Amino acid sequence: MDEPNTGIKVFVARKGVTLSAKVYFVDAMGSMAFGLFASLLIGTIFNTLAGKIGWPWLSEVAGYATGATGAAMAVAIGYSLKAPSLVLFSLCAVGIGANALGGPLGTLLSVIVAAELGKLISKETKVDILLTPTVTIVSGIAVAVLIGPGVSAIMTGFGSMIMQATILQPFGMGILVAVLVGIALTLPISSAAICATLGLVGLAGGAATAGCCAQMIGFAVMSFPENRWGGILAQGLGTSMLQMGNIVKNPRIWIPPTLAGAVTGPVATCIFQMENGVAVASGMGTCGLVGPIGVYSSEWFSRAGSMGWLSILMVCIVLPAVVTLLIAYPLRKIGWIRPGDLKLEL
């Protein structure tokens, strides 16, 4: 009785199909964020620069980059899932359709199904050149048509609710959004993809940016005694996720940057009323300075004048560093944070 099931399991394992939540919603979702960076985000930056410096050709380039968003996300997801080349190329069509129908989350779900089914059929028949793209594209588009509009409506509605709540209750929501998105940034999941899926822009995007910057700058300055300038660059411009191993060993090291986000979030929403104009950038913090660039790209920044630059400086850099150090100091004194707790192997 077990032999057919065993045979199926062996076949599925041989084709590299894992049916793992971590693979799909951590690894693949993280890779999807890179697809967003390489298309939508860079296109938005180009478009902003084109308007500032008067280069219309750069705006045209931006249009092509943002137009490739669906395909870029799909290829990034397929690459993460180790899809064979023919499946990977076919996913471009799936991504274009799925992004139009279901946005980032609809693309993620549709491409996962298409990639895994494509992997199962790949190189199994003599008509692989026809069958593999057919199975991949048809299955992916079918999923997108079936669930895409509903998923898009739910995520857009949820994101709109968060943004509206932040406008109505900027203090409380400033804390909540900053802390939760900041924590997501440091966890091995993609805060950028989450923000993109929710379409988190405006005041809520500003709070998310504040929370992410607090994690990255906070860990960078707090760990300076152990990691010196290499740690400043790796965490301040790279990712605070580098500290996850140390957080598992001593979760208390997470307190200062998280509380710093709880401070800078409402500062961003209530005092500066800072907004981020690019959803994916809202979940990036100071990684490659993408978060501040998203703020710079917003309509709010154009209206804010010099206050816009001051908000970026204070919310994204100065306050996270100062508040984190102030909170970390007593925790070091009472032994909650010990020398070496934040050491990275750089």
Calpha distance 277→290 (Å, rounded): 11
Beta bridge partner(s), residue 202: 276
pLDDT given at position 52: 78
Token pair 């045979």 in the structure block, residue: 7
Calpha distance 134→301 (Å, rounded): 46
Residue 125 zone, left/alpha/beta (φ > 0; ψ -120 to 50; rest): beta
pLDDT given at position 9: 85
> Kindly report the CA angle at 269 between 264 and 270, in degrees rounded to 5?
95
Calpha distance 273→115 (Å, rounded): 42
218, amino acid identity: G
Calpha distance 137→87 (Å, rounded): 9
Residue 66, number of CB atoms within 10 A of its CB: 17
Closest CA relative to residue 342, chosen from 198, 261, 231:
231
pLDDT tens digits for 256-268? 999 999 999 999 9
pLDDT tens digits for 154-166? 988 989 999 999 9
pLDDT given at position 29: 86
How many alpha carbons lie under 13 Å from residue 254 in its C-beta half-sphere? 22
Structure-token pair, residue 51: 């308007």
Closest CA relative to residue 265, chosen from 314, 232, 197:
314
165, amino acid identity: A
On whether the CB atoms of residues 214 and 256 are closer than 8 A, the answer is no
Calpha distance 305→301 (Å, rounded): 7
Calpha distance 322→260 (Å, rounded): 9
Calpha distance 74→303 (Å, rounded): 36
> Kindly report the CA angle at 23 between 19 and 26, in degrees rounded to 5?
140
Q: What is the largest CA-CA distance in the chain?
A: 73
pLDDT given at position 6: 74
Residue 103, number of CB atoms within 10 A of its CB: 25
Calpha distance 318→286 (Å, rounded): 12
Structure-token pair, residue 293: 């660039």
What percent of the chain stands above pLDDT 90?
69
Tell me, yes or no, if the pTM score tops 0.85. no
Structure-token pair, residue 90: 């076919």
Residue 148, number of CB atoms within 10 A of its CB: 23
Phi then psi for residue 125, to 5 deg, are: -135, 170
pLDDT given at position 2: 53
Residue ranges of the chain whose pLDDT lies below 70 = 1-5
pLDDT tens digits for 52-66? 788 899 999 999 999
